[in-house]
Amino acid sequence: MNKTIATYDKHFEDYRKEVQDFWLHFPQETISAFVSRLQGKKVLDIGSGPGDDAQILKKNNLEVICVDGSLSMVNKTKELGFESYQKYFREIDFPDGSFDGIWAYTSLLHVSSEEASEVVGKIYQMLKSGGVFLIGMIEGEFEGDKESWEQSERYFKFYTEKELTDMVSHWGFKRVYQERYKPHSKTYLAQVYLK
């Protein structure tokens, strides 16, 4: 994880350029599937990156708190006006029942399935009863480091639909929505769950 965070800190601007087009065409249906099920406005964005997701959620009248392991990313979300914290996934420690919704789009794919499962268990606790959880992963069967920019690596764990559903459902979540998004060569799998 530290190698991945160091890569994001070092290549912050490269990452921003890489994802600009991604968010322009992100499926509105996925956002609506999350937002329409919320019973309140308080949302945690786990692995918030530079705040693209958080800005979309804010435009939907939500109160977003951002968490990311990269200081560069946290500084950017603070510049955008978000309450933001630098924490590794395992360090996220908000009290039980703190949030109406939790959004983790393409963030937990940077840790092993064991750690991702532990974090999903924490997410279940941090959500209010009836809370909404969106998780997004890259679909496939790969685990390991991938070179990203100039010999800088990031760790990835891709998931099959069954793997992802089994991991999240294990904690008591009920899946209510699923969408695939393929902007380029990778397929992104988003699932929405209720507590």
| Annotated domain spans of the chain | 1-10+26-100+122-153+166-177+191-195
Show the tokens assigned to 2.
Answer: 């530290």
Nearest residue to 110 (alpha-carbon basis) of 149, 136, 80: 136
Counting DSSP H helices and E strands in the chain, the numbers are 7, 9
Tens place of pLDDT for every residue, the chain, 195 residues?
576 555 555 555 555 566 566 666 777 899 999 999 999 999 999 999 999 999 999 999 999 999 999 898 899 999 999 999 999 998 999 999 999 999 999 999 888 899 999 999 999 999 999 999 999 999 999 887 766 656 667 788 999 999 999 999 999 999 999 999 988 888 999 999 999
* Sequence-distant (≥ 6) Cβ neighbours of residue 159 within 8 angstroms: 109, 113, 137, 138, 139, 140, 167, 189
| Structure-token pair, residue 27 | 């499926």
Architecture, CATH, for domain 1-10+26-100+122-153+166-177+191-195: 3-Layer(aba) Sandwich (3.40)
Q: What pTM value is reported for the model?
A: 0.89
